[in-house]
């Protein structure tokens, strides 16, 4: 079966099982490797991408759910948002091993798209589903506050 969707502004197609998780379609078929495989069970957030403007777990969302819709990865964030997050992540030296960070940034982008100036509690709540084994949470929270400035 063919599933067509829009990826970062471009039309793309996937030929195969429509139950294939979006994560594998992105990584293995479309060579977009910013979303990472962490738990594969919707629990860690490393695979976070946006589907129709909402952060989703691409490891546990079948590509059929993206048919005719817009998928955005870190590479396709609106320029202003992408730059704000990138520079605040650099300023606060956020990543340690870095593996979870694209997922963290995609959740942060989802939050900031919906709430211009989230307070610390809103940031904590919005980011609570993204796990970081290195414990970079405090820096992530500061970076989000800065990106919201």
Binding site for ligand FES (CB under 6 A): 37-40, 42-47, 57, 59
- Spell out a b/e string for 72-91, using b for 16 or more CB atoms within 10 Å of the CB, else e: bbbebbeeebeebbeebbee
Q: Quick one: 1 or 43, whose CB is closer to ligand FES?
A: 43
Supply the minimum distance, in Å, between the C-beta of residue 47 and ligand FES.
3
C-alpha distances in Å from residue 71, one per residue of 15, 17, 110, 143: 17, 18, 13, 24
Nearest position to ligand FES, beta carbon:
59
Q: What DSSP line would sit under 17-43, residue for residue?
A: -TTSBHHHIIIIIS---SS--SSSSSS
For residue 24, the minimal CB distance to ligand FES (Å) is: 11
**Cβ closer to ligand FES: 42 or 82?**
42
| Of 49 and 84, CB closest to ligand FES | 49
**CB nearer ligand FES, residue 45 or residue 76:** 45
């Amino acid at each position: 079966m063919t599933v067509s969707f829009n990826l970062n502004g471009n039309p793309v197609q996937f030929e195969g099982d429509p139950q294939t998780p979006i994560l594998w379609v992105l990584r293995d078929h479309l060579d977009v490797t910013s979303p990472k495989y962490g738990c594969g069970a919707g629990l860690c957030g490393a695979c976070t991408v946006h589907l129709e403007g909402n952060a989703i777990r691409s490891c546990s969302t079948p590509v059929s759910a993206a048919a005719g819709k817009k998928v955005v990865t870190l590479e396709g964030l609106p320029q202003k948002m992408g730059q704000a997050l990138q520079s605040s992540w650099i300023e606060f030296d956020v990543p340690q091993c870095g593996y979870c960070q694209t997922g963290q940034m995609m959740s942060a982008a989802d939050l900031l798209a919906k709430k211009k100036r989230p307070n610390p509690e809103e940031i904590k709540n919005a980011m609570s589903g993204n796990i970081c084994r290195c414990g970079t949470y405090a820096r992530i929270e500061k970076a989000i506050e800065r990106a919201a400035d």
